[in-house]
Structure 1
């Protein structure tokens, strides 16, 4: 399905490729919100 403004995008099993392992301010964009979730718990 097509994503729209306000949608959440989840990338499972991203390993070291999450936002915390990438350069900040890439192309001048603000950093995305990154959550680590284990079952029902937000770590």
Structure 2
């Protein structure tokens, strides 16, 4: 849940830091998913 005004959420983190964390986690997930897919498709 994002607050457009940058209000702190229940976790006490600002929207900006939460968005940064989400991007990092998304990047990590994509990298490992790609590695896993390569592993599955390799002979």
Report TM bin, short chain.
under 0.3
TM (norm. structure 2) is 0.19
Higher share of residues assigned strand: 1
